[in-house]
Every structure is written in C-alpha cells, then in structure tokens.
C-alpha cells in the first residue's frame, strides 16, 4: 500500500487540512500531510484484530463511518465483501475514497455525509465500523453515531466494531481523566474525549448493542517502533525527514508525542466488537 499523501498527489487530490498552518491544523491531518497513512490509536495491529473479529467475508455489506483516506478501507476490500460504502463528511476525503477499487466484484462507493446521519437505508449493512472518530465527539454525539450504526445494521447478522482511544484503568480518578483530556485537546487541536473500557461498553449497550469481544493496545502512535510497524521502515524515515524540514510541523509532532508519553500509563487504544442485543434485533 502506498502512503496516503503519495496517493493523493498521484491522483491530483489534495489532502484534508491543505492550506492550514501546521501550528493550527488538527493533529491527524498534520500527520497525514507528513505522509502517515495509519492514523488509528492502536495501529494496524488493532485494526486487523477488529476486522478479524468482525469476520468480514464475501457475503457482507460493509459501511465504514468516518473512513478518512482509506487505510482501513483497503484492508477491508482485500477481504472481498459484497459491498463497501465509505462515509465521511470531508469532501477531500470522499474524493480520495471514491477512487478505491476492490480486488473482486465488490461494489464500492463513497458518500459525503455525517456519521450520525448517513442518509443510508435502514438495515443496509451486515457490518458497520468506525475508528478514531467517536473519541472526538461529546457524549450525546457519540450516542447519535452509535444509534445510527444500529439503524444501518441488519438485525439478524449485523456486527458493529469501534477502535478508539481509552482511559485506563476503569475507575480512573476524574481529576486525572480531565487533565489527560485537556492535554490531548491542546496537543491535537481536536476536542478528544476518550472513555474508559467499561464506559465504552456502556455506551454501546445504551444504544442496543451487546459487546462480545474487546481488545486493548498501547497508545504508541508516534513511537519509532509503532511507526515502522505501521508504515514500513522507508516510509517512516520519509515521514521523519518531512517533519525535520518543517519546523512548525516538527514542534507539533514532538508536542503530541510528549503528551502521549506523559500519560502512557493511563492512555491506550481499544477495539470493541458488538452485536444487536436480542431485544433490539
């Protein structure tokens, strides 16, 4: 897989965040501009766990919420689902997603819409997932997105999965949780609001899901080993080279990494697999 910035350049598609100053743009778009293609908190390893848990196969109709620039979409398409729909509210992301093709007869499309109100038909999917997007929403908006996922799912075979930031452990002191949240928001310039594992499970249960599997991973997005594992050695070196040539971007990246390291004992990544609760099916 080529890096997202190279793909965008080759297709004459700009990246989200283009035109914004590096000191002010959201952290995930800054990293994408530097060439980082895996922008999920648990890295490729946790994304692959999520897709394995979902069991995507050629019978499935998949909807990905807030699909971004398509790193996970490509992994999904490699599993040859019957249909794949990417939903994103960013026009640039949708333009990039619209260029995706599967290796087989998969019907692929991209829709510009909000994850909480996709406009897609009821029960149109057997699999719905989203990564690194619920964390960025206030709690009522989190609930609306999960409710929309429930609406999209075929109740008889539907599976839903998320891959998000989490606060560890359950029962973390609220004052410390607030401090971590404030530091994250300052570093990534997005209103990140991670939950504890039990709170993520409760969120899904509140909207009619039963959690059937859970996996956590360290939040090591900007650590050298994770960077190499996710991107490959040469692309990782290119990302580092681009950052060193852009002082404002380098300051942002180092600030984000300091925050992640400072709170490494209490900040992680989590993926949950859930199915519609029997009473809701």
157-176: average pLDDT: 96
Adjacency order of strands within the sheet including 83-88: 107-112, 83-88, 61-65, 127-131, 159-167, 267-276, 209-218
Q: Domain 4-276's class?
A: alpha beta
Which band of pLDDT confidence, cut at 50, 70 and 90, is reported for residue 154? Answer: confident
pLDDT digits (tens, 9 = 90+) for 111-153: 999 999 999 999 999 999 999 999 999 999 999 999 999 999 9
- Spatial separation of the C-alpha atoms in residues 221 and 160, rounded to whole Å: 24
Segments making up each domain of the chain, as ranges: 4-276
Question: Cβ(148)–Cβ(250) under 8 Å?
Answer: no
CA 228 from chain centre, in angstroms, equals: 19
Q: Is the pLDDT of residue 27 over 70?
A: yes
222 CB-side CA count, 13 A: 23
40-46: average pLDDT: 96
pTM of the complete model: 0.89
Tokens read off for 106: 């998969």
Residue listed under structure tokens 């949708």: 94
């Amino acid at each position: 897989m080529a890096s997202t910035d190279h793909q965008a350049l080759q297709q004459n598609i700009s990246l989200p965040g283009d035109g914004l100053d590096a000191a002010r743009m959201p952290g995930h778009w800054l990293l994408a501009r530097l060439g980082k293609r895996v922008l999920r908190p648990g890295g490729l390893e946790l994304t692959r766990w999520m897709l394995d848990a979902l069991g995507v196969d050629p019978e499935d109709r998949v909807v990905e919420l807030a699909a971004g620039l398509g790193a996970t979409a490509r992994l999904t398409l490699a599993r040859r689902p019957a249909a794949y729909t990417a939903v994103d509210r960013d026009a640039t992301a949708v333009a990039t997603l619209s260029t995706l093709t599967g290796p087989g007869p998969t019907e692929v499309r991209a829709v510009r819409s909000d994850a909480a109100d996709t406009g897609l038909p009821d029960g149109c999917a057997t699999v719905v997932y989203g990564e690194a997007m619920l964390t960025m929403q206030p709690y009522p908006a989190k609930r609306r997105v999960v409710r929309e996922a429930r609406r999209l799912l075929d109740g008889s075979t539907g599976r839903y999965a998320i891959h998000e930031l989490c606060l560890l452990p359950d029962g973390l002191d609220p004052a410390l949780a607030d401090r971590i949240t404030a530091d994250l928001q300052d570093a990534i310039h997005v209103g990140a609001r991670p939950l504890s594992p039990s709170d993520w499970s409760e969120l899904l249960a509140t909207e009619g899901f039963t959690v059937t599997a859970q996996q956590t991973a360290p939040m090591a997005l900007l650590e050298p080993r994770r960077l190499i594992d996710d991107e490959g050695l040469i692309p990782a070196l290119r990302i580092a080279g681009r950052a060193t040539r852009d002082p404002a971007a380098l300051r942002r990246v180092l600030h984000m990494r300091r925050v992640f390291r400072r709170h490494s004992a209490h900040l992680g990544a989590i993926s949950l697999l859930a199915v519609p609760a029997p009473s809701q099916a």
